[in-house]
Amino acid sequence: MADRSFSAVRQPGFGTIAIVVFVALYLPIVTMVIYSFNAGTSVSDWQGFSLHWYQVAWSNGDVQDAALRSLTVASCATLIATTLATMAAIGTTRRKSFPGRGAVELLINQPLIVPDIVTAVSLLIFVAAIKVATGYQGLIYLILAHSAFCIPFAYLPIKARLQGMDLSLETAAADLYASPWATLRYVTLPLLLPAIIAGAMLAFVVSLDDVVITNFVKSGGQDTLPTYMLGQLRRGTKPDVNAIATVLLGFTLLLLTMFFFLTRKRT
């Protein structure tokens, strides 16, 4: 008997559409990477292979400051977001269902639902009022803002891991008179560690690449690497921006590859 189940892969034109979509998505990225090695100043006329623009970017003090600031903000935000996401995941999966559980999960995932520009404008108004009241203009605002919108990215893989974990080891620990804290520390968290690392890497990538919210929340002189690149592009396309973008792309792909191997199912 013929299989009548629906499959998108078997639909007419699927392969052609898939190829067109992938070309549209990745051809501009491949072009950018290629022209980051262009010896000339043109971003459209190939003038030979060179690492000159990587050297220019590496020796640029503004790029170094922006990169260090990006890593600082992303690292702090990842630590805060992952800690809160782990607590939230345990609280929503390792207890009986309670009234308002759906609303709690909706609030946790709110940054994924609401457009970035809405979150950015609301944070701008809120942070501006605090800056005026306190006079403090430090990086803490960026770190807290990044922490808030990175929580769901860390929460989802951790929650998925908790839901798929076998409860037998935790039950056995309880049967052996282990306290809830001891069970959490010596059983649950070690089993959860790969998901926590994966969630942390995903949160780090999201924070490192963010432009919209950072652009609205940051104070003067607090450019991260993405906002620095945006500022340079507004003044005209420069070849060294291609080099910076290529390095950032490579670093992001490395982290996402590690995330994939940590979260894939083991047979």
Nearest to 260 by CA among 198, 192, 197: 198
Under a CB-based contact definition with an 8 Å cutoff, are residues 232 and 62 in contact? no
Q: What is the pTM of this model?
A: 0.82
Residues 3, 17: Cα–Cα separation, whole Å: 24
Residue in the structure block whose two tokens are 């052996």: 176
Residues 49, 40: Cα–Cα separation, whole Å: 9
Residues 137, 220: Cα–Cα separation, whole Å: 9
**pLDDT at residue 151, rounded to an integer:** 92
Stretches where the chain sits below pLDDT 50 are 1, 267
Domain ranges of the chain: 9-50, 61-263
> What are the Cα distances from residue 96, in Å, to 32, 90, 231, 255?
51, 11, 50, 35
Residues 141, 241: Cα–Cα separation, whole Å: 27
Percent of the chain's residues with pLDDT above 90:
20
Residue in the structure block whose two tokens are 């390792």: 94
Residues 190, 154: Cα–Cα separation, whole Å: 17
Under a CB-based contact definition with an 8 Å cutoff, are residues 81 and 203 in contact? yes
**pLDDT at residue 237, rounded to an integer:** 65
> Tokens in use for 164?
């798929």
**pLDDT at residue 77, rounded to an integer:** 95
**pLDDT at residue 1, rounded to an integer:** 46
Under a CB-based contact definition with an 8 Å cutoff, are residues 184 and 147 in contact? no
Burial of residue 71, with CB atoms counted within 10 A of its CB: 0-12 exposed, 13-18 middle, 19 or more buried? middle
Domain 61-263 bears CATH identifier 1.10.20.140 = no
* pLDDT tens sequence across 158-176: 998 888 877 777 778 877 7
Residue type, 227: T
> Tokens in use for 235?
């003044």
Half-sphere exposure of 132 (CA within 13 A, CB side): 6
**pLDDT at residue 265, rounded to an integer:** 57
**pLDDT at residue 174, rounded to an integer:** 76
Report the SS3 class of residue 38: strand
**pLDDT at residue 267, rounded to an integer:** 38
> Tokens in use for 183?
């069970």
